[in-house]
Chain A
Amino acid sequence: GESVGLHLPTLSVQEGDNSIINCAYSNSASDYFIWYKQESGKGPQFIIDIRSNMDKRQGQRVTVLLNKTVKHLSLQIAATQPGDSAVYFCAPGGNMLTFGGGTRLMVKP
C-alpha cells in the first residue's frame, strides 16, 4: 500500500516568514496529490492539488512543488499568517486518498 510520511511533525515560523512543509511518498505510480489544511476542531480543507505531469503549481500565497525523481512534495506558504496555523496533510490521490500523520504549523506573532 501507499506510504506517506512527513519530515517534520511540527514547524514553528515567525509571522510574515515563508513556510515550507515537506512530504515524501513511496508509490511512484501516484499521479495526483492534494494538500489539506486542518484547523483545530475542524475537518480537513482542500488547499491545492497537483498532477504528476506538473512540477509546480501556484495558488494564492501557496505553491506546491513536486519532485517525482525523489518522490517528494513540498508546500510553500508565503508571508505566513496566524490563520495559517494548522496541521497540513499531503494525500496522494487516485482511487483513495491516503493521509500521513501531518505537519503542525505554528505561527509566532
Chain B
Amino acid sequence: NAGVTQTPKFQVLKTGQSMTLQCAQDMNHNSMYWYRQDPGMGLRLIYYSASEGTTDKGEVPNGYNVSRLNKREFSLRLESAAPSQTSVYFCASSVEWVRGYNEQFFGPGTRLTVL
C-alpha cells in the first residue's frame, strides 16, 4: 500500500514549456486534490476532484488544468509554465468530499522550478 504517489519528484522547466504532474492513490479514495506550497507559506488549493468524473477550481487555478483520469489518478498540467509557478506541488486524497470530515493524505511532493 503505497498511499499517494507523485511523479516526477523534481523538474526544471523553461518559461513557456508545458508539463504534466502525475498523481496516483491506491486507497480507493473518491476525492483528490492538488495544492501548491511556496516557501514559508501554507498550502493553497489549485484544483480538486470530489469524485471520479468531476473537477472544480480551488483558490489558485489560473495557469493550470487537471484531469481525473480514473478513480486512482489525478493529473495537473501546466500548459505554458511561468516563473511564478515555481513551487512545491502536493497531491492529496480523501475518502469522501464530506463536510465536517475531510482527512487528507498527502503525497511526497514535486519540486518544480521554472526558469
Which residue of B40, B102, B107, B109 is within 8 Å of A97 (Cβ)? Answer: B102
Within 8 A of A (CB), among B26-47: 35, 40-45
Determine whether the beta carbon of A93 is less than 8 Å from that of B42: no
Q: How many residues of chain B have a CB within 8 Å of chain A? A: 24
Give complex CA distance A100, B36 in Å.
Answer: 13
With an 8 A cutoff between CB atoms, is B104 at the interface? Answer: yes
Closest CB of chain A to B64's CB: distance in Å?
16
- Residue of A32, A43, A49, A102 with highest tally of chain B CB at under 10 A: A43
Closest CB of chain B to A96's CB: distance in Å?
6
Determine whether the beta carbon of B42 is less than 8 Å from that of A43: no
Contacting chain A: which of B12-20, B68-76, B78-86, B93-101? Answer: B93-101
Determine whether the beta carbon of B103 is less than 8 Å from that of A31: no
Further contacts, 17 of them, CB under 8 A, given A43-B109, A93-B102: A32-B102, A34-B102, A42-B108, A43-B92, A44-B43, A44-B106, A46-B103, A46-B104, A49-B101, A93-B100, A94-B100, A96-B45, A96-B58, A100-B42, A101-B42, A102-B41, A102-B42
